Amino acid sequence: MGMLQAGIIPVTPFEQNCTVLFDQDTKEGVIVDPGGDVDVILQTIRENGIKLHAIWLTHGHLDHAGGAMELKEALGLDIIGPHKDDEPLLSALEAQAQRFGAQMTVRNAVPDRWLEEGETLSFGDHEFEVFHTPGHAPGHVIFFNAKQKFAHLGDVLFSGSIGRTDLPGGNHQQLLDSIKNKVLPLGDDIGFICGHGPGGQIGNERRTNPFLTGI
């Protein structure tokens, strides 16, 4: 069993970071947030010989979950997560796409399993702790691998920014609380990937992110 590797496939007009987490030796892994462009995802998976075990969702927004059902059916995978508080979002993805006028193929998504705070997910030897981090979306979860000092933060925290809170179910104070109580305590030396733009390091965000001043 080798190191955890992460590859990003930019998908949808929202340039969402669909992420493949996999073991560098066995090529076994999972895909996080297949928002769309499922043909591109499938091609990338095939070209790199990745053996996918599941689809993990951080939250129920269009750009993260819009391609989940299509990918589930193409590869026979379970959709795992997010927290059940995002059910109203996942069952309205097609309506969301219409409202945004998004030029993308979208299907409403029905997860095979909801996630709760404190659960552990794994593939091979790689274990990820689940944290429920509402604020950007009510059922948002993040995935934390302590051993390899890595977290997938979805749309909670970005490099130099934080998730928007003006969408249905969003709450600014709740998002700041999630960052303060769930994300920052993971540790300054934790590297992260997020839903949009470049990743970073939690300590660097704690020190320099203007949205975190005074929390």
Q: Which one of 31, 57, 61, 175 is in contact with Zn ion (CB under 5 A)?
A: 61
> Of the ranges 69-77, 81-89, 99-107, 149-157, which one interacts with Zn ion (CB under 5 A)?
149-157
155 binds Zn ion per the rule CB under 5 A: yes
For Zn ion, the closer of residues 126 and 132 by Cβ is 132
Ranked by CB distance to Zn ion, the top (closest) residue is 61
Shortest spacing between CB 133 and Zn ion, in angstroms: 12
70 binds Zn ion per the rule CB under 5 A: no
For Zn ion, the closer of residues 123 and 158 by Cβ is 158
For Zn ion, the closer of residues 195 and 199 by Cβ is 195
| Window 110 to 129, contacts with Zn ion (CB under 5 A) | none
63 binds Zn ion per the rule CB under 5 A: yes
Nearest-angstrom CA–CA distance, 54 and 60: 16
> What b/e sequence results for 39-70 when a residue is b if at least 16 CB atoms lie within 10 Å of its CB, and e otherwise?
eebbebbeeeebebbbbbbbbbbbbbbbbbbb
For 79, 178, 182, the CA distances from 72, given in Å and listed in that order, are 7, 29, 29
Shortest spacing between CB 76 and Zn ion, in angstroms: 26
Chain centroid to CA 148: 18
| Window 166 to 195, contacts with Zn ion (CB under 5 A) | 195
For Zn ion, the closer of residues 138 and 195 by Cβ is 195
Nearest-angstrom CA–CA distance, 113 and 98: 27
33 binds Zn ion per the rule CB under 5 A: no
For Zn ion, the closer of residues 29 and 139 by Cβ is 139
Helix (H, G, I), strand (E, B) or coil at 210: helix
Helix (H, G, I), strand (E, B) or coil at 105: coil
Nearest-angstrom CA–CA distance, 162 and 100: 21
DSSP conformation class of 160: T
Residue ranges that bind Zn ion, judged by CB under 5 A: 61, 63, 155, 195
